[in-house]
Chains A and B, each alone.
Chain A
């Protein structure tokens, strides 16, 4: 199944925004709708933002009204420093439940569901295998709130997949993410002057670069690949190796005993190591990423390269800080730019572009429709017409035949109705008719 109408939940998370930006560029995707309870944080062109409550209770109406065929859920909180425990629970457990409810039931148009989950599903324990494959389960029940939430959210997804066999359900478990743009507990840990460790432990760590996260979500959105996939860069590094790559000392700030208490004291002092990462600092975790690679996905960065990229960013960051202005979402401005007939410069308005298959369908629908109402022709006689500026069109119309000009005029009236362009076409028409006489 080819996804055409995509709904992204959690559009205001870093991942939702990045994925929407990636999908927007593809003309085969008709519609991208993003929902979230907060304003988007990434600049979006043709993605439509709809604000919903954290519980996503009204989502079903959006899904049905827009005939969504693919839902990508990027909303799961997998880092307890980014939200309070109750917010995370509300979002991860109740939110997932409501989103799944919105996608199931009779009459649902949803055919694909992609969930971004986390390798925290596997937890960390002494008797873990060195590389988790997708079929493995965590050996012990979860002990931290975030892990409990993730396990619960995944359970409801598995239940959804069982009850909706016609829906292609894909679940991605991501390793810890590193990258210049994303803020996670680990990027914060590594931006300290020294890399903290637990005395006597050198855990194995696997990371995935932020670009690979977006690429993996896109890969699963574009292809029909039901099942669970681990996403982590090639290579598992020891924490001492990571510290070496970052060029930082490796300091035992935590003792092997009473680590939880020490970490909560450190949290008061500003060194925030979330409880779900304490286990990783002790035992580490590795993922077997081969199943996703076997589907044709190629990672751009290995774990080592992700760390090196982060180091480069951290060295450059103090110099270029503040150069890029952060994006601010202002609803009225976005709506004016998208829908107002007064916006004339096409550079400011991103319109949905149709691919050839959709055009054929549209033309069929139009020829079948009663000819009375003058709907504008959907296709312009000039290729890449939408990309041309008014001046370029003006110089181009002189070379066109009379019939083409008439068609073009109709198209322009229906599409953008730029007066300069219409006048230019009219002049060319006059000239063409005088020559014809």
Chain B
């Protein structure tokens, strides 16, 4: 009866733990029984310049040495606190506030981990699916370590590959918000990021970024232009659109401060199925980030020179 049940559902439900296997090596067998596919991840081919996600160390390195370096060190003069809260190994989900027309916060967080952390690691930045469908962006964005914000992508990165993933739960609502709403966090999605961290059993590290709002203030959104260009939004900033596409990079020299908060750990399995727990944790993460943002803005002496 049991085998019949299994066969009946064989095309619909995948459960490698229940399947009967032949004569493989012991460690592999144990992994299969547990439904853990991590031993079967593809190996790294040293001849390749890209990884399986399309990330190019060469192109990323070129950006890192030039544009990112200059913005990080001289333009935004980034100040970093609590970088030791980012685990030195294993997966972790970094959750940050989001702002600025072409948001400068994501590359600066990545740069901060590369520069300040005792174990510099690559950071995978989740972005909207929109970027995969827009010519040009589609080519460049994955090379710089950006991955579409699909729950299965996040799960593979966090659980299977044990990498760092940065999410912005506010999504585009964060980066399209107007200057008058600065540092007021938007809704944190539907708590999907908490579910992802719980499912992968990795800690959440909340991150607060101050300065990005003033670096790229958005004064208005133009609905018609958005539709004509097919972009996700069309903001009016001090330099965009009148200075053209490069005006997107016309950031003002606001002083940045990036603060990594204490990680929130999830150790037991199956927590992600408890919707109320997920929502509670999501609210808690949002509250902590909001509280720290207000505290950082309150103590800031000058937008341009900082604390």
Contacts and interface: CB of A to CB of B under 8 A. Distances in A.
Interface of A: 126-131, 133-136, 157-158, 161-162, 165-169, 171, 198-202, 204, 223, 225-228, 234-238, 241, 256, 282-283, 286, 288-291, 293-296, 302, 304
Interface in B28-50: 28, 31-32, 37, 40-43, 45, 47-50
B153 interface: yes
Contacts of A223: 22
B129 A296 contact: no
B26 interface: no
B14 interface: yes
B135 A199 contact: yes
Interface in B102-142: 129-130, 132-139, 142
20 contacts: A128-B150, A130-B52, A130-B53, A130-B152, A133-B14, A161-B8, A168-B7, A169-B11, A198-B135, A201-B135, A202-B139, A204-B54, A228-B14, A234-B42, A283-B133, A290-B41, A293-B40, A296-B23, A302-B42, A304-B47
A130 B153 contact: yes
A112 to B, nearest CB: 11
Nearest to A162: B8
Contacts of B14: 133-135, 227-228, 291
Contact of B50 (A129, A162, A238, A286): A238
A198 B37 CA distance: 35
A374 to B, nearest CB: 44
A290 B152 CA distance: 15
A158 B12 contact: yes
The majority secondary structure among interface residues of chain B is loop
B147 interface: yes
B163 to A, nearest CB: 13
B10 A200 contact: no
Contacts of A227: 10-11, 14, 19
Contacts of A202: 54, 138-139, 142
B244 interface: no
Contact of B132 (A126, A293, A294): A126
A223 B24 CA distance: 14
Contacts of A286: 52
B16 interface: yes
Given A129-B150, A235-B42, 20 more contacts: A126-B129, A128-B148, A129-B153, A158-B11, A158-B12, A165-B7, A169-B10, A204-B142, A225-B19, A226-B11, A227-B19, A228-B14, A236-B54, A282-B138, A288-B156, A290-B41, A294-B28, A295-B19, A296-B22, A296-B24
Interface of B: 4, 6-8, 10-14, 16, 19, 21-24, 28, 31-32, 37, 40-43, 45, 47-50, 52-54, 129-130, 132-139, 142, 147-148, 150, 152-153, 156
A235 B7 contact: no
Contacts of B132: 126-127, 283
A114 to B, nearest CB: 13
A135 B37 CA distance: 14
Contacts of B153: 129-131
Contacts of B10: 161, 169, 226-227
